[in-house]
């Protein structure tokens, strides 16, 4: 049973599901954590993910209420379907809730993207990851750092470094992504003459100063910034009365985009500014310089290798990074610390061995 609820999980599920179904019957449960079509529905169609078998409709709640609601509803599904294993991804409320349901029903739990750490329990994603990793049976780690962080917690059994599952999709769809240039035409963009930006982490959207600092950097850049805005960020800019900044002529504001349009915009950008974990990895894969506007990153290898610069939510640091980092690195494809596109296969083969 695969449990998904948020945009990055649909993308990871797309990578896993195809391989998983070679050996297993998969039940997909969508918790409904992301319920907007732009963050949810389109990805199933676009990435040909089988339609969810269950939808728990647990959106429009936040934090603890959402986790509780998912737990109650998922528990009922688990008790009727009796899966052999529950697979969770990453760090969302759906991840934490499903981990608790699995252990309470004594069902094996596999965590994909296990071991990632930001060392700050106040970050909502961090507490979700900690809950998941305390309860997990099988740890599928994307990076060497993740394996090391689990070791520091005393977790060394059933820990597998498989590479990152999002790389699988970029490899699988590489020619479709390369050919998908209509989105550049739609926004009248010239390749490598614009910046692609995303901002949605709670640490930035729930803090007026952080959000303002980030937007103030966007408007001072000397090339346009394409900014697909997450509904949470849109709500925050309205609540904090930052409309004037987002309506600035240097910002090309749009709704959240689909997978292929986003990949194409990242791949062709001069630079990317982001607080998204997924986009951080995508910059690295395409060899596009990135400026990270979250307080810290768990994808430390991408910074160590010089692809991404950690600026945090500070106008001055973002602008400094922009002016010093404007060199396109050679593509990392082929020799890649995040994997080579075979993570899903490795995970599924290991699960087959463990569950038999």
Which of the residues are catalytic? 200
Residue 259 in the binding site for ligand UDP (CB under 6 A)? yes
Cβ at position 294, least distance to ligand UDP in Å: 9
- CA dist 24 and 355 (Å) reads 10
> Which residue, 24 or 259, is less far from ligand UDP as judged by CB?
259
> Which residue, 165 or 242, is less far from ligand UDP as judged by CB?
165
What sign for the dihedral angle of Cα 337, 269, 231, 2?
negative
Cβ at position 225, least distance to ligand UDP in Å: 13
> Which residue, 93 or 262, is less far from ligand UDP as judged by CB?
262
Q: What are the Cα distances from residue 215, in Å, to 247, 254, 332?
A: 10, 15, 30
> Which residue, 69 or 261, is less far from ligand UDP as judged by CB?
261
How is 120-145 classified by DSSP, letter by letter? -TTSHHHHHHHHHHHH-SEEEESSHH
Given a contact cutoff of 8 angstroms between Cβ atoms, the answer to whether 207 and 313 are in contact is: yes
Residue 291 in the binding site for ligand UDP (CB under 6 A)? no
Stretch that binds ligand UDP, among 23-31, 60-68, 182-190, 278-286 (CB under 6 A): 278-286
Stretch that binds ligand UDP, among 24-32, 102-110, 217-225, 256-264 (CB under 6 A): 256-264
Pick out residues in 1-20 that bind ligand UDP (CB under 6 A): 7-8, 11
Residue 282 in the binding site for ligand UDP (CB under 6 A)? yes
- CA dist 202 and 184 (Å) reads 29
Neighbours of 81 (CB within 10 A): 12
> Which residue, 143 or 276, is less far from ligand UDP as judged by CB?
276
Rg for the chain, CA atoms, rounded: 19
Given a contact cutoff of 8 angstroms between Cβ atoms, the answer to whether 233 and 199 are in contact is: yes
Binding test (CB under 6 A) with ligand UDP, winner from 59, 115, 224, 278: 278
Given a contact cutoff of 8 angstroms between Cβ atoms, the answer to whether 2 and 29 are in contact is: yes
Stretch that binds ligand UDP, among 67-75, 115-123, 145-153, 274-282 (CB under 6 A): 274-282
Binding test (CB under 6 A) with ligand UDP, winner from 59, 115, 277, 313: 277
Cβ at position 79, least distance to ligand UDP in Å: 29
Cβ at position 216, least distance to ligand UDP in Å: 21
- CA dist 133 and 139 (Å) reads 8
Residue 30 in the binding site for ligand UDP (CB under 6 A)? no
Cβ at position 187, least distance to ligand UDP in Å: 13
Residue 238: closest CA among 210, 211, 199, 202: 211
Residue 272: closest CA among 186, 198, 203: 198
* Cα angle value 91/95/97 (rounded, 5°): 135
DSSP, collapsed to helix, strand or coil, labels residue 262 as helix
- CA dist 93 and 49 (Å) reads 21
Query: What x-and-dash track marks residues 178-217 binding ligand UDP by CB under 6 A?
Result: --------------------x-x-----------------
Say how many residues touch ligand UDP, by CB under 6 A: 15
> Which residue, 279 or 300, is less far from ligand UDP as judged by CB?
279
Query: What x-and-dash track marks residues 96-125 binding ligand UDP by CB under 6 A?
Result: ------------------------------
Binding test (CB under 6 A) with ligand UDP, winner from 83, 228, 313, 339: 228
Q: Which residues are CB-contacts of 101 (< 8 A; sequence separation ≥ 6)?
A: 71, 74, 75, 78, 86
Given a contact cutoff of 8 angstroms between Cβ atoms, the answer to whether 246 and 237 are in contact is: yes
Which residue ranges make up the site for ligand UDP (CB under 6 A)? Answer: 7-8, 11, 198, 200, 228, 256-257, 259, 262, 276-279, 282
């Amino acid at each position: 049973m695969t449990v998904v609820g948020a945009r990055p999980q649909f993308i990871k599920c797309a990578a896993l599901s195809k391989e998983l179904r070679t050996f297993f019957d998969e039940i997909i449960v969508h918790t409904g954590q992301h319920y907007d079509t732009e963050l949810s529905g389109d990805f199933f169609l676009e990435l040909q993910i089988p339609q969810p078998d269950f939808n728990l409709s647990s959106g429009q709640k936040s934090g603890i209420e959402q986790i509780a609601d998912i737990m109650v509803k998922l528990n009922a599904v688990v008790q009727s379907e009796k899966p052999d294993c529950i697979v969770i991804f990453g760090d969302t409320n759906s991840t934490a809730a499903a981990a608790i349901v699995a252990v309470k029903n004594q069902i094996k739990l596999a965590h994909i993207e296990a071991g990632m750490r930001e060392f700050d329990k106040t970050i909502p994603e961090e507490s979700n990851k900690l809950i998941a990793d305390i309860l997990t049976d099988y740890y599928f780690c994307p990076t060497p750092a993740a394996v090391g962080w689990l070791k520091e917690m005393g977790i060394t059994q059933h820990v597998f470094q498989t590479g990152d599952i999002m790389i699988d999709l970029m490899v699988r769809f590489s020619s479709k992504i390369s050919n998908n240039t209509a989105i550049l035409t739609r926004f009248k963009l010239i390749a490598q003459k614009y910046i692609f930006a995303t901002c949605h982490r709670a640490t930035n959207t729930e803090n007026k100063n952080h959000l303002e600092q980030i937007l103030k950097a966007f408007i001072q850049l000397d090339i346009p910034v394409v900014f697909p805005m997450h509904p949470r960020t849109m709500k925050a800019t309205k609540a904090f009365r930052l409309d004037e900044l987002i309506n600035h002529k240097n910002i090309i504001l749009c709704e959240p985009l689909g997978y292929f349009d986003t990949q194409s915009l990242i791949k062709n950008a001069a630079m990317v500014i982001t607080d998204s974990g997924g986009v951080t990895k995508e910059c690295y894969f395409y060899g596009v310089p990135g400026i990270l506007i979250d307080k810290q990153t768990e994808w430390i290898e991408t910074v160590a290798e010089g692809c991404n610069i950690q600026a945090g939510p500070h106008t001055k640091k973002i602008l400094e990074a922009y002016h010093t980092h404007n060199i396109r690195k050679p593509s990392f494809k082929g020799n890649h610390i995040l994997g080579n596109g075979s993570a899903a296969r490795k995970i599924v083969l290991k699960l087959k061995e463990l569950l038999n």
